[in-house]
Amino acid sequence: MKSFAAASLIGLLSIASLPTLALAAPPPAAPATSDITVESPPAGSVNLIKNGDFETPNAAGDGPAHWQQIDNLVCHWNRDADPAHGRIIHIETDIGQSQAYAWWKKLVLDKAPLRDAPAKIHDAGYASIGGLDGGFYASDLIPIKAGAAYKVYVDAKGPGAKVFIRGYEKEVPLSFADEQPAVQEMLATARGEPSLTKDGKARKHRLRYAYQTWFAVGGTDTWQTYTHHQPRHPTGREQTEGVRWIRIQLYPYWPAGTYEFDNVRVIEVPALDRKGRPDVSDADFEEGKVVK
Domain at 2-290: CATH code: 2.60.120.260
pLDDT value at residue 18: 37
The residue extents of the domains of the chain are 2-290
pLDDT value at residue 10: 32
pLDDT value at residue 19: 40
pLDDT value at residue 195: 82
pLDDT value at residue 210: 86
DSSP codes of every residue in the chain: -HHHHHHHHHHHHHHHT-TT---SSPPPPPPPGGG-EE-PPPTTPPP-STTTTS-SB-TTSSSBTTBPPP-SSSEEEEE-SSTTT-EEEEEE--BBHHHHHHHHIIIIIS---GGGPPPP-B--STTBHHHHT---EEBPPEE--TT-EEEEEEEEEES-EEEEEEEESS-----TTTT-HHHHHHHHHHTT--SB-TTSPBPP-----SEEEEEEE--EEEEEEEE-SS-B-TT-SGGGTT--EEEEEEE--SSSSEEEEEEEEEEEEPPPPGGGS--TTT--TTT-EE--
Per run of 10 residues, the mean pLDDT along the chain (length 292 residues) is 35 37 57 73 94 97 97 97 95 98 97 97 96 96 93 96 94 90 92 84 80 91 93 77 93 97 97 65 48 39
pLDDT value at residue 292: 36
pLDDT value at residue 238: 58
pLDDT value at residue 204: 77
pLDDT value at residue 291: 42
